[in-house]
Chains A and B, each alone.
Chain A
């Protein structure tokens, strides 16, 4: 299996921002919003795992993973955490405002490779956003997979994304969905502890499972270790990386990590390949 799945040459829209209008802005947590963007002309059609470059006019551009499905009308869904000038500008944009979009960039979660076996999805913090399209796909095509386990970690109960949708996933009863937080106030009835603690008890057969992992790099390192301890080979664990993506087409080199350019070859990599690079301190 290739170390990074199905990276393709970007379309022409990769270099010219396509104009989109903000249809809706939904607050997910104190600092995170989900934006729905309608194309005013040519569409961008990212697949699960890919990202777009969103341009806040006059402020700047940031790489944001797709967090939704194609609805046939070309509407884009992006969940954005306001942490800097560009993301703040995007998260405070009024409905009807204009956003430039380049993309889609990068490769996809290898959903086809996961079909037929068990699927384990481990998300940390806003890492749930890039995984949501993959989770939705697996639940929509439920008969195509064995056990489906979704393990979610967040900082506090107030930092959990997509709360209502997670409840819908749980209510299906044909998937295991477990959530844990790092800290909570008294009265919280859910789990408190590391997301890695969910892995020993998760329902999957290490002999036929594939795992998708996204979150802070340190979290992914520990999750990969815990999955390997459970018996899942690192060759069947996929992680989504982030670096300083700028051009999106592998020209500028800002997102270089050793021999790979994250925007072009990633962001989704096989864990056995990427964890070796993550262990090099200078990279």
Chain B
């Protein structure tokens, strides 16, 4: 198997995919690096790529007029950065910044969308897996909205 395909197979989001699908995905992937402080993508820019973090940490940030920059979530080793490449209008909703030196696998969204259109089995698999990522983040966001640590003291 292609070395990149093996790396991809070891990530939680792609684990268990058949080798032929991993090879198709690896065909749209390349290794990339971001120095600490580098911008991975900016809110509003075209979402033509997503990333799988292999090392380091990426922060998703939202800028508000009254509170400045807010980190709403971080992505660490094994996490996926970005799903806006999947859905029109293919624009990022947040900034993503490397808060440490980051090594990642970058995936060409347009390339992968094309392969999904040609192979609906691959498309269905990827949709299922990205839906799981989105559901997990939605549940985590709902939980954090409860502000459980702001309530009555435990101790």
Measured CB to CB, the residues of A under 8 A from B are 64-65, 67, 78-81, 83, 87, 124-127, 129-130, 153-155, 159, 182-194, 196-197, 200-201, 214-216, 218-219, 222, 240, 242
**Nearest CB of chain A from residue B104's CB, rounded to whole Å:** 17
**Nearest CB of chain B from residue A160's CB, rounded to whole Å:** 10
What total of A-B pairs shows CB separation below 8 Å?
Answer: 100
Q: B154 contacts the other chain (Cβ, under 8 Å)?
A: yes
- Pair B149/A186 contact, Cβ less than 8 Å: no
Q: Which of B118-154 contact A (CB under 8 A)?
A: 140, 143-144, 146-154
- Pair A153/B153 contact, Cβ less than 8 Å: no
Q: B100 contacts the other chain (Cβ, under 8 Å)?
A: yes
Q: Which of B11-68 contact A (CB under 8 A)?
A: 12, 57, 59, 61, 63, 67-68
Given A80-B155, A81-B155, A127-B154 in contact, is the A155-B71 Cβ separation under 8 Å?
Answer: no
- Pair A214/B149 contact, Cβ less than 8 Å: no
Measured CB to CB, the residues of B under 8 A from A are 12, 57, 59, 61, 63, 67-74, 76-78, 99-100, 140, 143-144, 146-155
Given A79-B155, A80-B155, A184-B70 in contact, is the A192-B150 Cβ separation under 8 Å?
Answer: no
**Nearest CB of chain B from residue A162's CB, rounded to whole Å:** 12
Considering the complex, give the chain A residue whose CB is closest to the CB of B67: A185
Given A125-B154, A126-B154, A191-B57 in contact, is the A183-B72 Cβ separation under 8 Å?
Answer: yes
Q: For A188, list chain B residues within 8 Å (CB).
A: 59, 71, 99
Rounded to whole angstroms, the CA-CA distance of A215 and B154 in the bound complex is 6
Considering the complex, give the chain A residue whose CB is closest to the CB of B148: A216
- Pair B140/A183 contact, Cβ less than 8 Å: no
**Nearest CB of chain B from residue A251's CB, rounded to whole Å:** 23
Rounded to whole angstroms, the CA-CA distance of A65 and B154 in the bound complex is 9
Q: For A79, list chain B residues within 8 Å (CB).
A: 155
- Pair A65/B155 contact, Cβ less than 8 Å: yes
